[in-house]
A and B are shown apart, each in its own frame.
Chain A
């Protein structure tokens, strides 16, 4: 606009034409006259942004409704651009978190959007950023509103929900054998009717069934055997290598959540230790609904870092748990073998059992490599890792510690199967 003005002004001078001169002067003034008036207004001070969340705690892959209210207490805003920053791991599933609008003086606008957190953790929504433009977009003013809203994202509840659907129906599948973990013979829950055995007490005889079949029949009862379970979770930096949403650590978290839910639903005691360079989380084994939320909240806040100090973690845990328990260690076995073997000795000395479930790194990163060169390199790295791992497993086997190598497909079923097996065998009975 200014350039056009200067052009017409000089043309006016050249041709001694007062029309062009006037238009040139008009264009120059039209471009600059608004500048001080725009600067005089205190847009950012007159705007207030308020954000309301449907919930401050949410499960990953669930939804969150965010309502934003913008109020303009000052004069009119010709062009307002607004963006409400969301974390990278959140996805907008409906609505939008940004807008452009005209905002009259003393007015307020309200809009909302639905987001889906993809990953557990502690996140902050915000800041809200506004840019105010003048009519011609010649001037702009930016402002950041540090109005953060903290959100705690629990690990996904979908596994638990799925278990909830499968469990009562007791279908065959990954949880096959769940109903077999009961201790038959004594207890309160009716199990079934069978032929009378001379060792059976007479009070167990079912007279109705005897009359119906013509043979002496006994009633059978069952009871749960409660076990104490301790999850030792490696939360070192090596556990979160690879894809942000599908790395070893995230799978370990999902497995731990589901294991906790299943164990707690069977009135078993379950605890959690997450360790890296230090003990990040220690939750003593307990049962009850609250324990699940304790574990969920601790897992949501976990952030893998440092190197794993297995021995320190195990020593602390063993000293805190006087009685024997069943330890399930979730680790990628990428730290040195010696502290691990020392830890095994401590657990064995306590009379407890240990099972190591180890996610094998290359299986979690297989999909990340696209080019043949990357694939070849990953195969070479995988072979080296496998050799080291085999050495550690060989050493662990000397102490009769089973190690199960798992990938993304069989991680969770393996952990659950291990628990059910332990339950059946009565390992870690309280």
Chain B
């Protein structure tokens, strides 16, 4: 019954784990600093302490200055004694006047390393939540979290992937770890979306089916009561039960019809359809991706030599030249098809 749902769920989970493992492999091990968390805690404590010391220091200084001014005119000894007392009190508490703040750069660096741990925790938590709750938002959190790890690593040169361009023949592209990660990412999204979609369809239909079966039994068991009328909705259960019995007699498939048993999708057809469609989609998308990230073969044919030999041609931004028209081609085509369909209807 829910075998197919479980297949998709397990596949999605395994793909997420595979992606996570590969991402961890493709960032420098240095980023996983366990001490980042206690250091940031210590830095935060230092910052709070520094803030308080500043408040205390300046309030004590203000107090002493004011009191010295008031007492200096008639009792200089008292003024001196008070000044001494205040500075002793401050030194006893804070040590220095005022204490030194933690270095901003070290706090930021600690925060940077802590971010990896936070992202990892969020990904793992979302993975667990996804297993139990099956919401699409967890898929996005996991996917964006994984890519954010690479992004953060790339920020300080800790990434080990995507450092060289993908220009060359398709074989270079296929053998590149980027290809593996891209195809895994695509299938992770595809399988997870399908899982959420299938889960919704199956669970909802099965839940409704069970509810209707329960109601059916409930109605039929009330036949012994004499014209038991449900409060509020004016339904004569006795009459309804008689009607249902008549239908059961006339239509052998009545129970399946009323419970919506025939609505529940066919597992085999669904799996077959998923495999064929996802392979076709993945193939098309990977070809398009290859054309965009490796534009030289196509642009050599259609662009002037000045462009091909320019410095811009070796920058990543060259991707835009083919990405924009190709990505806009699909919505444009769909608009044209819709327009033609509408016109043919009229």
Query: Footprint of B on A, CB under 8 Å?
Result: 4, 8-9, 11-13, 15-23, 25-26, 28-30, 32-36, 38-40, 42, 54, 61-63, 65, 67, 76, 78-79, 91, 93-96, 99-104, 107, 109-114, 116, 118, 135-136, 139, 158
Residues of chain A contacted by B285 (CB below 8 angstroms): 26, 29-30, 33
Which secondary structure dominates where chain A touches chain B?
Answer: mixed
7 closest A-B pairs by CB: A19-B162, A35-B334, A36-B333, A112-B257, A15-B154, A39-B337, A17-B162
Residue of A19, A26, A39 with most partner-chain B CB within 10 A? A19
**Once bound together, how far apart are the Cα atoms of A19 and B186, in whole Å?**
13
Q: In the complex, A38 Cα to B333 Cα: how many Å?
A: 11
Contact of B327 among A29, A78, A158 (CB under 8 A): A29
> Given that A38-B334, A109-B263 are known contacts, is A20 also in contact with B182, CB under 8 Å in the complex?
no
Partner of A95, one of B155, B164, B212, B337: B212
Please list 24 pairs of residues, one from A and one from B, whose beta carbons are closer than 8 Å in the complex, sorted by A's number: A4-B140, A9-B319, A17-B316, A18-B162, A20-B150, A21-B293, A21-B316, A22-B162, A25-B323, A26-B285, A26-B286, A29-B285, A35-B334, A38-B334, A40-B337, A63-B239, A76-B273, A96-B212, A101-B205, A103-B265, A107-B266, A114-B243, A118-B234, A139-B334
Task: Report B-chain residues with C-beta under 8 Å of the C-beta of A91.
Answer: 233, 235
B115 at the interface (CB under 8 A from A): no
Q: With A18-B163, A22-B162 in contact, do A33 and B281 touch (Cβ < 8 Å)?
A: yes
Q: Which of B162, B181, B205 contacts A21 (CB 8 A)?
A: B162
Complex Cα spacing A265 to B30, Å: 98
Considering only residues 196-240 of chain B, those with a C-beta below 8 Å from chain A are 197-198, 200-201, 204-205, 208, 212, 215-216, 219, 233-236, 239-240
Instruction: Kindly provide the distance from the CB of A420 to the nearest chain B CB, expressed in whole angstroms.
Output: 26
Q: In the docked arrangement, what's the CA distance between A22 and B269, Å?
A: 33
Query: Roughly how many angstroms separate A42 CA and B260 CA in the complex, as a whole number?
Result: 26
Q: Given known contacts A93-B235, A101-B263, A101-B265, is B334 in contact with A21 (CB within 8 Å)?
A: no
Q: Is B299 an interface residue (CB 8 A)?
A: no
CB proximity of B31 to chain A, nearest CB, Å: 15
B-side interface mostly: helix
Interface assignment of B284: CB less than 8 Å from any CB of chain A: yes
Tell whether B86 is near chain A: CB-to-CB under 8 Å.
no
Interface size in chain B (residues, C-beta < 8 A): 80
B201 to A112, Cβ gap below 8 A? no
Cβ contact within 8 Å between A20 and B151: yes
Besides A17-B154, A19-B159, A30-B186, 15 other A-B contacts (C-beta < 8 A): A4-B143, A16-B316, A18-B162, A19-B161, A20-B151, A21-B162, A26-B182, A33-B281, A34-B281, A39-B334, A63-B240, A65-B243, A93-B235, A107-B266, A113-B258
Known pairs A17-B154, A26-B182, A39-B337; A114 contacts B289 (CB<8 A): no
Cα-based distance from A33 to B337 in the complex (angstroms): 14
Known: A23-B182, A35-B330. A107 touches B284 (CB 8 A): no
B137 at interface, CB cutoff 8 A:
no
